Amino acid sequence: MSRYRQQIAGRTYAFDHLVDVLAKASPRRSGDELAGCAAETDAERAAAQWVLADVPLVDLLENPVVAYESDEVTRLIVDSHDAAAFAPVAHLTVGGLRDHLLETAATSGSSAALAALSPGLTPEMVAAVSKVMRNADLISVARARTVRSAFRSTIGEPGRLATRLQPNHPTDDPRGVAAATLDGLLLGCGDAVIGINPATDSARAAGDLLHLLDEVRTRYDIPTQSCVLAHVTTTIELMEAGAPVDLVFQSIAGTEAANRGFGVDLAVLAEAHAAVGELDRGTVGTNAMYFETGQGSCLSADAHLGVDGRPVDQQTLECRAYAVARAFDPLLVNTVVGFIGPEYLYDGKQIIRAGLEDHACGTLLGLPMGVDVCYTNHAEADADDMDTLLTLLAAGGVGFVITVPGADDVMLGYQSLSFHDVLAVRHTLGLRPAPEFEAWLERVGLLAGDGRIASVDAGSSALRQLAAR
Amino acid sequence: MRPEGEAPDFWTPLRTATRSRIGLGRAGDALPTAQVLALRSAHAVARDAVHLPWGADAIERGLRDLGLEVLRVASQAPDRATYLRRPDLGRRPADLSAVPEAGGAGPDVGIVLADGLSAKAHDDHAVPMVAALLDRFRRAELRVAPVVLAEQARVGIGDHIGERLGVRTLIVLVGERPGLSVADSLGAYLTHEPRAGRRDSERNCVSNIHPPDGLGYDRAADVLLGLVRGARELGASGVALKDRSPAGGEIGP
């Protein structure tokens, strides 16, 4: 006899396990279909959402989706759970939590109330509640919760939208990187981080790029941080060698096995966190970790199975990655939402939904969330879908987004946002750059009187020498 | 309206250092019209490369003109939409009855063309790339199996085909995922003793074959011949072979 049953239009739908309920209640996406855990019909999905809405939150706490004994991410979630913070909602069901969050979001002082709740929420609770939320609910709840983080600039203030300037180059050519960096700065981008994905993972190449970015930053006294997104072990090596490391980057996922696939575990992340803390290079804050995540990363590493070998849905696993991130007080966390391809998120609708889920769920768990609003050429998505997602995320108060010249990342071969896209959405919604960076833009003559980014001639700008090398 | 009709400016010399879309100008906060259309055109070409069927008949004729026997196989993905959603189906053949089963030791080398994610890559490069390979294999006195055209297919389908052909080394030429600046790039994956269940770490890859801008046919074929010889000598492909090969297992951009 199945434990979970629900009738829809005269037909009874049964679910064996909480893991199945979570998966089948998830809004439709190709990755769950690939994993074989998605609802087979819309009615089955609706039935699973009814069932999930009635599940007590304590059931999610007491029944981990991945076994405690075999997974250190589960152990982190369970062992760090704050029972006192959980107490005010401990009597609620998943559906009750949705109503509670939306009621809280509609009151003044919502951010403090949601912040107090964060340590009491587990990734599974947050994933579950998102599955019974509409897109508008996700936006309301995310907007209601302010998460600030800081290093040389402050991310997450209400009314601000920061950007990662991503000047990638297929061969890490210093002139090419500098040219793209200049282009972004002139368009008011780079306040969250100037961050490069290196073409190779050699420590030497990463070190060269770090020195290049550090030289640009110090020469123009830019209140931002730089990052070369090498593997965490490479960055540890670079810190030991005295390289100018501001932030430690790592891709992470929601199971111990998937993290092992990335070549990391909690111990090595803790080692890096301690090492970068000792460098103490921040001026307005001490958050120095940068994590990227994305739905589907566990499945692509064949590390998505939970208790009894049941496949766990990709959105629940994504939320578990946020538990890893929040253990290390990050400056920046972003989901690379449309990068993974159509076998995980098939089209614009699925990418938009996933982007809103990731932003809201990460924010509820207390993370300084950003999103790489992006797509690949084999997904059923285009720049119009990215406009939609960016506008919705900005309405929800997203901390930062990724930007590349002309939306075209010539190294990674996918499309993210252009610098221009951010100018436009900042103006549409009245958003401004990070405060320290905005003051710098004014000092170097890039801020117009009305607070917009001035249209300046690159050749006569204060930064024109940046790309001369 | 032309995307690059502008007079030389501050950015012109910098564009020699990067293909990034730098210095695009502004129309208010947005991109100028020509830049919006340029990006949309590049995306359209990339999407067409993914979605339009390859010219399998023309490719087959070209291969027969090289004196090769050509066979056709389809994957278990019935259409493009399913293929994109279900990479597992693209790795498995629907029916291998067209492929002769080797009794005992088969030919030395097999070549499979898998359409992958770019039809255009094969339309532009498959026949001359196979010709360059064939030239080297014949001179090295390696026996070449019939070439197999696999539709709605990913690299892994070659393991099933190569196993049935009984080849010692298999090369799969696959259409790589199109980018905005290159939509016709071909990749070559080499597997020693192909059989179902081989892992990607047991393969060597030569990517970015798309002359004149990318890797040329002759250079790619030289590297692949070196890898074939190395794999036969070592009795393995993949990470172990890459570490020994001076050419490297991978040639990137």
Check residue B201 and give its pLDDT. Answer: 85
Please indicate, yes or no, whether residues A238 and A384 belong to a single structural domain of this protein.
yes
| Structure confidence at residue B247 (pLDDT) | 47
Task: Tell me if B8 is assigned to some domain.
Answer: no
User: What is the Cα–Cα distance from A49 to A340, expressed in whole angstroms?
Assistant: 26
Instruction: Give pLDDT, residue B249.
Output: 41
The answer to whether residues A184 and A234 belong to one domain is: yes
For residue B95, the enclosing domain spans 51-244
Q: Residue B139's domain is classified under what CATH number?
A: 3.40.50.11240
Touching check for B33 and chain A: CB below 8 Å? no
User: Model confidence over A379-419: pLDDT tens digits?
Assistant: 999 999 999 999 999 999 999 999 999 999 998 999 999 99
- Number of helical H runs and strand E runs in chain A: 21, 15
Q: Is B155 annotated as a binding residue?
A: yes
Of A171, A346, A415, the CB nearest to B85: A346
Would you state the pLDDT for residue A310?
Answer: 97
Considering CB atoms only, which of B30, B47, B183 is closest to A420?
B30
pLDDT for A449 equals: 86
In tens digits, what is the pLDDT along chain B, a chain of 253 residues?
555 556 789 999 999 999 999 999 999 999 999 999 999 999 999 999 999 999 999 999 999 999 999 999 999 999 999 999 999 999 999 999 999 998 777 999 999 999 999 999 999 999 999 999 999 999 999 999 999 999 999 999 999 999 999 999 999 999 999 999 889 999 999 999 999 989 888 999 999 999 998 899 999 999 999 999 999 999 999 888 875 554 444 443 3
Residues A293 and A262 sit within 8 Å (Cβ to Cβ): no
Q: Which of A175, A199, A343 sits opposite B87 (nearest CB)?
A: A343
Q: Tell me whether residues A420 and B23 touch, CB distance under 8 A.
A: no
Mean of pLDDT values over A213-228: 98
Mean per-residue pLDDT of chain A: 97
| In the block, residue with structure tokens 């393969």 | B203
Q: In the structure, what pLDDT confidence band is assigned to residue A433 with cuts at 50, 70 and 90?
A: very high
Work out how many domains chain A is built from and give that number. 2
Chain A residues 58-87 with a CB less than 8 Å from chain B: none
Distance CA A166, CA A168 (A): 6
Verify that A372 and A332 share a domain, yes or no: yes
- Count of CB contacts below 8 A, A vs B? 128
Question: Which of A144, A172, A193 is the last residue in one of the domains?
Answer: A144
Domain count, chain B: 1
- Write down which residue in A144, A171, A186 finishes a domain: A144
More confident site: A3 or A157? A157
Compute the distance between CA of residue A81 and CA of residue A90 in angstroms, rounded to an integer: 12
Q: How near does any CA of chain B get to the CA of A404, in Å?
A: 8
Are A230 and A133 contained in the same domain?
A: no
Phi, psi at B7, each rounded to 5°: -70, 155
Residue B128's CB: how many other CB atoms inside 10 A?
17
Is the CB of residue A415 less than 8 Å away from at least one CB of chain B? Answer: yes
Residue whose pair of structure tokens reads 């607070």 in the numeric block: A451
Residue A91 lies in domain: 4-144
| Residue type, position A239, single letter | M
Here the CATH number for the domain that contains residue A28 is 1.10.220.70
Task: Check whether residue A187 and residue A65 sit in a common domain.
Answer: no
A165: left (phi over 0), alpha (psi -120 to 50) or beta: beta
| A466 within some domain | no
Same domain, yes or no: A139 and A160: no
Give the CA-trace dihedral at A30, A33, A37, A38, to 10 degrees: 70
Closest chain B residue to the Cα of A200, Cα to Cα: B252
B44 assigned to some structural domain: no
Which pLDDT score, from 0 to 100, does residue B245 have?
A: 52
B122 backbone φψ class: left, alpha, beta (φ>0; ψ -120 to 50)? alpha
Residues A96 and A164 in one domain: no
Same domain? A399 vs A312: yes
What's the pLDDT score for residue B250? Answer: 44
How far off is chain B from A296, nearest CA to CA, in Å? 13
Are A246 and A226 in contact, with CB atoms under 8 Å apart?
A: yes
Residue B89, min C-alpha distance to chain A (Å): 10
State residue B213's pLDDT score.
Answer: 85
User: What pLDDT, on a 0 to 100 scale, did the predictor assign at position B248?
Assistant: 42
**The dihedral sign for the CA sequence B111, B220, B89, A262:** positive
Taking the CA atoms of chain A, what radius of gyration do you get in angstroms? 22
Maximum CA pair distance of chain B? 71
**pLDDT for the residue A1:** 53
DSSP assignment of B231-253, as one string? Answer: HHHHT--SHHHHHH-TT-S----
